[in-house]
Structure 1
Amino acid sequence: MTTLTKTENAPAPTGGDAFLSVRDLKVQFSTEDGIVKAVDGLSFDLERGKTLGIVGESGSGKSVTNLTVLGLHNRKNTNVEGEIVLDGKELLTATEPELEKLRGNKMAMIFQDSLTALSPYYTVGRQISEPFRKHTGASKKEARDRAIQMLEKVGIPHPKQRVDDYPHQFSGGMRQRAMIAMSLVCNPDLLIADEPTTALDVTVQAQILDLLKDLQQEFGSAIIMITHDLGVVANMADDLLVMYAGRAVERGSVREVLKAPEHPYTWGLLGSMPRLNSDVNEPLLPIPGSPPSLLNPPSGCAFHPRCAFTDKVDGGRCKEDRPELPAGRGSACHLTADQKQQVFIETIQPRLG
């Protein structure tokens, strides 16, 4: 059974009131090999009408965090500690019936793979209209009309005919639009988009992002954008949270983090991206090594086995002491502010151009 523990007086990352507030969130999974520390002490805030981008490698805890916000973790083998408050409502102590009233209505999620997220046995229109009927008590005709309206809103051509199609009859981009329609059919206050543009071509990707921004402006939704693509974050998000090994290692506004990153892991993410103004023969600079096992994460800073700057920190602190992420703008790194600035100017900035 899931163990839920509320953390009292957990530190606030920004110090202000927020529509969504996550404090000292810890999520652990029991497996045959041991305890997986998927999320380890994560805190962040999100205001109405704002977009928070969460980036990091696969396995860094991005999706687990947001599945926990929606209460979709496996209760049989999951231990959850901390505090998640949505518009004044504590979610970790909420009952399953209470969460069912919130999911799809107050909060919704666009899943990464629309082909597997949508059921092949039901029409697209039925899958969009079902949550609308459940949460509003609308009739079948009212719900069908609402589904057609949402398909039109997300740019599906001939929505009155396509509403009766099955997911396999839609292209990848159209399925993703249908997923967005299903997520927004009840005008949720919180929308979690988990890699919503994965496997889509750049033209469709741009259309999806523009659609999300337009719908956010119309409905005033708060959005969490989970992605590996820093270009998507730069286009969509107001604030950015960089995750590594289940922890936040850097946060700030998108402009602050992308223009003047402070953590070696963020430097690595930016340095490994191709640049339009670079020589076509210039090799990419991948982050060395592999992500750590969350069954047995490294001591001290989890990134230290892959970090090229540990020799700048005295006394082996990187291997022994885990750095904490300060409130507001900052990074969880033992390098001093002067060292970060010097390394960035001399080593990282020339790579970024």
Structure 2
Amino acid sequence: MTTLTKTEGAGSAPTGSDPFLSVRDLYVRFSTEDGTVKAVDGLSFDLERGRTLGIVGESGSGKSVTNLTVLGLHNPKTTQIAGEIVLDGQELIGARERTLETLRGNKMAMIFQDPLTALSPYYTVGRQIAEPYRKHRGVSRREAHLRAVEMLAKVGIPQPKLRVNDYPHQFSGGMRQRAMIAMALACDPDLLIADEPTTALDVTVQAQILDLLKDLQQEFGSAIVFITHDLGVISTMADDLLVMYAGRAVERGSVGEVLRSPQHPYTWGLLSSMPRLGSDVDKALTPIPGSPPSLLNPPSGCPFHPRCAFPEQVGGGRCATERPALPEGRGAACHLTAEQQRTVFIDQIKPRLG
């Protein structure tokens, strides 16, 4: 795995001592025919046991790349990584593949966004759940099979003794997602990464999956990273929230703080573009203008400034030339002063949100 020389300041790292998962100044670059993609650009965050960190942002903001890096799933031939990822005191960047294989599925696991493509069509669901359990725990085939049945029952699959022998195409979308959760939790991992686990599900099944994750977290005490673009889902699921844009963290805090009193114009845009119950059905949503930037050549200064409506209030062209730092703890990477943020939010943004 290639390392990078960091040339830009990433801002202050989060506070807290000895977190279960600590990511510090993470940079991830991909070499392509068109150039180098700066997928993650100086990201830092912490996660404690038993807590859920929500990561939100538009597609291409670096959410999934970050967490695939935690699991060590990038191709080392085309990926350059710098920074620190420490899981329960163990450094993961630069670790041997054998070490990562021991950790994946055992101490850390991931629920992928699309279970139909993540599950192999050639093997039964039960075999795919049993395989990592047998590998990591060194048990017999029979014991692993019984564990698969147990996990299917735990995630609410009816008739688990029969369905354990079915193939993924014989499961509905919601059942495949439950099977993915069962596979991820088979070895009681301490860290669970859920990448858009409810995107393709109807609202009823979505609510069931969210309740299931909460129940399983309470039972196993797992730390959860929950990746989504849906702020409605994250409001009921997460303890802490990290807002990402163009590979950087632009705002962080507790989920209540960020959703009730957002400080960054990008977070304002995400909230303003959401439909709300009880709102006027004839009232148009307020989209974020423009498109996310190309990470082959991201904007200088604040990456959001080409789409932001407030550079004039900052003045001096700082938004286009100077990268704002993300402060420790609660805060946003924005050149607007705290008083300007409060004024704009109360006068312009809050009325839109109702």
Match status 1:125 vs 2:126: yes
Q: Work out whether residues 10 and 23 of structure 1, in 8 Å CA contact, stay in contact via their aligned partners in 2.
A: no
Task: Name the counterpart of 1:140.
Answer: 141
Give the match's secondary structure for 1:3. Answer: coil
CA distance in structure 1 between the partners assigned to 2:323 and 2:67 by the alignment: 24
Q: Which residue of 1 aligns with 2:225?
A: 224
Aligned partners of 1:231 and 1:4: how far apart in 2? 37
Q: Secondary structure at the match of 2:252?
A: strand
Contact 1:20 1:85 in 2 (8 A): yes
Question: 1:34 and 2:38 equivalent?
Answer: no
2:319 alignment partner in structure 1: 318
1:66 corresponds to 2:64: no
Q: Which amino acid aligns with 1:321?
A: E
1:1-353 correspondence to structure 2 within 5 Å: 2-4=1-3, 11-353=12-354
Q: Which amino acid in the other structure matches residue 130 of structure 2?
A: S
Corresponding letter in the other structure for 2:327: P
1:227-255 C-alpha deviation (Å, 9 max, x unpaired): 01101110100000000000000000000
**Residues 83 and 92 in structure 1, CA contact (< 8 A), matched pair in contact too:** yes
Shift of 1:314: 1.7
- Cα contact 1:299–1:320 (8 A) shared by 2: yes
Q: Distance in 2 between matches of 1:4 and 1:295?
A: 18
Matched residue of 1:4: which SS? Answer: coil
CA deviation after TM superposition for structure 1 residue 93, in Å: 1.9
Identity across the alignment (%): 78
What's the CA shift for 1:4? 3.1
| SS state at 2:85 partner | strand
Counterpart AA for 2:283 = E
What amino acid is aligned across from residue 224 of structure 1 in structure 2? V
Gaps of 5+ in 1: none
Distance 2:248 2:4 in 1: 18
Alpha-carbon distance in structure 1 between the residues aligned to 2:128 and 2:323: 46
d(CA) in 1 for partners of 2:173 and 2:213?
17
* Partner AA of 1:43 in structure 2: S
State the aligned residue count.
Answer: 351
Deviation at 1:12, TM superposition (A): 2.8
Q: What whole-Å deviation, never above 9, does each CA across 1:252-307 have from its counterpart, x for those lacking one?
A: 00000000000000000000000112111001111000000000000110000000
Amino acid at match of 1:77: T
* 1:11 and 1:23 in contact (8 A); partners too: no
Amino acid at match of 1:296: N
Q: Is the Cα–Cα contact under 8 Å of residues 20 and 87 in structure 2 kept in the other structure?
A: yes
Q: Is the 1:42–1:248 contact (alpha carbons within 8 Å) kept by the matching residues of 2?
A: yes
Residue 11 of structure 1 and its aligned partner are, at CA, apart by 4.5
CA distance in 2, matches of 1:67, 1:4: 16
Distance change >3 Å, CA 291–CA 187, structure 1 → 2: same
Deviation (angstroms), 1:17: 2.2
C-alpha distance 235-216 of structure 1, shift in aligned 2 (>3 A):
same
Native 8 Å contact 1:187 1:219 kept in 2: yes
The answer to whether the 8 A contact 2:130-2:145 is kept is yes
Which runs of 5 or more structure 2 residues have no equivalent in the other structure? Answer: none
Work out whether residues 11 and 24 of structure 1, in 8 Å CA contact, stay in contact via their aligned partners in 2. Answer: no
Tell me how far apart the structure 2 counterparts of residues 15 and 318 of structure 1 sit (CA, whole Å). 30
**Do the aligned partners of residues 14 and 316 (structure 1) sit closer, same or farther apart at CA in structure 2, a change above 3 Å counting?**
same
Deviation at 1:328, TM superposition (A): 0.4
Distance 1:19 1:232 in 2: 24
CA distance in 1 between counterparts of 2:135 and 2:333 reads 44
TM-score, with structure 1 as normaliser: 0.98
CA–CA distance in 2 between the matches of 1:27 and 1:12? 17
